[in-house]
Amino acid sequence: MSETLVMVGTAKGLFSLRSSDGRRGFEVHGPALAGEEVYATCIDNRGPAPRLFAGSVSMHWGPVVRSSDDGGQSWSEENRAAIAFPDDTGAALARIWQLTPGGADEPDVVYAGVEPAALFRSDDGGRSFSLVRALWEHPHRPEWNPGGGGLCLHTVLVHPTDPSRLLIAVSAAGVYRSDDGGASWRASNAGIVVTFLPDAPTPEFGQCVHKVARDAVDPERLYLQHHDGIYRSDDGGGSWTPMESIGGVDFGFPVVAHPTVGDTAYLLPLQGAEYRCTPDGRCIVWRTTDAGRSWSPLTDGLPQSDAHLTVLRDGFTTDGDDPAGLYFGTRSGEVYGSVDGGDSWRVLAAHLPPVLSVRAAPIG
């Protein structure tokens, strides 16, 4: 029976939840990287053995990307900084927000989304990364403004059948796409309303996109959680249309697509742009099975009173297994899990530091 690993990046280090009994029980291990903020975690299963990545930042000693080839038992960093801005940019790496494997047929490619907003690409399995110049030099970039978390590139989606097609998202610049492996980029925010500007316009860029997820079956279908709206694209991000509102509560950070079932995605809405906690003290995951035309609340096992929780953009994930495992971590230090596609949930860990990122996959 394979092991399931849930990597939990927190404000105080990296924890791992491990199950070797078919996801019936999970043991909590850690922290590794104690004292560091772990905003990016990644499980790369493309090679003969899983390679894990963690992007962390120490308040004193700065940011670093580390990898592990022994399932997280030990972590190492390269002697030379794996991710560093070139001298001529005048920029310095502040935080690593995203570490994403490249396409299935390019096993040495890894992408990193960072703050200040930039995309880096590795062609040697994450040992060294190079700045994707075309995005850094995009004429829009000087006009990008930071969201509350900083000017961060937090989402990297690689097209499953054509890895030269890339989609990234920046808060608060919006979605950008490349069809040539990153050699050129164009803003792709058509239809996304910016309610934090007068008259709620739909500018070419400047949207505060919080997260984007790709449908499991139709790779042109995308789900997007905006600052205060939820959208779907049926043309790979070329245009966006609003999904059915979830009771008027359309603020939130994460969006997760079911790993194998099409038209199925999950949201975890939060109350308003200021409060940013689960509405009415109830923790509800919402699921659509018709590509956002309707939503159903999932509450079994989730606290339904006095639960004022916050789940950040990378704090919700799936393990890609069948049946789908879903996991989310809160800023109050709980990790909830479901191994039946969201029908029921349970607490897998509690009393952890604030959870910043969660990634899960079967390993071994």
Partner 1 sequence: MHVQLRVPAALREGGGGHSVLSFDLDDGSTVDDLLDAIASGYPALERRIRDEQGVLRPHVNIFVGEENIRSQSGAGTVLRTGSEVSILPAISGGFDR
Q: In this structure, how many other beta carbons lie within 10 angstroms of the beta carbon of residue 77?
A: 14
Residue corresponding to tokens 């956002």 = 292
Q: Which of 99, 83, 96, 3 is nearest to 42 (CA)?
A: 99
* 58 vs 245 by CB, closer to partner 1: 58
Contact of 103 with 109, CB cutoff 8 Å:
yes
Whose Cβ is closer to partner 1: residue 11's or residue 134's? 11
| Minimum CB distance to partner 1, residue 317 (Å) | 23
**Binding of residue 62 to partner 1 (CB under 8 A):** yes
List alpha helices for the chain, DSSP H. 133-136
**Burial tier of 5 (Cβ tally within 10 Å: 0-12, 13-18, 19+):** buried
**Residue ranges in 75-134 that form contacts with partner 1 under rule CB under 8 A:** 77-81, 84-85, 87, 90-93
Among 1, 25, 27, 61, binds partner 1 (CB under 8 A): 61
Does residue 351 interact with partner 1 by CB under 8 A? Answer: no
- For residues 329 and 342, which CB has a smaller minimum distance to partner 1 in the complex? 329
Q: How many residues bind partner 1 (CB under 8 A)?
A: 20
CB of 120 to partner 1, least distance (A): 12
Within 8 A by CB and 6+ apart from 64, the residues are: 55, 56, 57, 58, 77, 81, 82
The conformation of residue 162, written as its DSSP 8-state character, comes to -
**To the nearest whole angstrom, how small is the minimum distance from the Cβ of residue 294 to partner 1?**
37
Q: In what order do the strands lie in the sheet with 3-10?
A: 27-32, 13-19, 3-10, 355-363
Asked whether position 274 contacts partner 1 by CB under 8 A, the answer is no
Query: Which x/- pattern, by CB under 8 A, does the window 4-43 give for partner 1?
Result: -------xx------------------------x------
Note whether 267 and 258 are within 8 A (CB): no
Name the minimum Å distance from CB 101 to partner 1.
25
H helices of 95-184, in order, are 133-136
Nearer to partner 1, 79 or 161 (CB): 79
Q: Provide, rounded to whole angstroms, the least separation between the CB of residue 256 and partner 1.
A: 26
What is the smallest separation between the CB atom of 48 and partner 1, expressed in angstroms? Answer: 27
Residues that bind partner 1 (CB under 8 A): 11-12, 37, 58-62, 77-81, 84-85, 87, 90-93
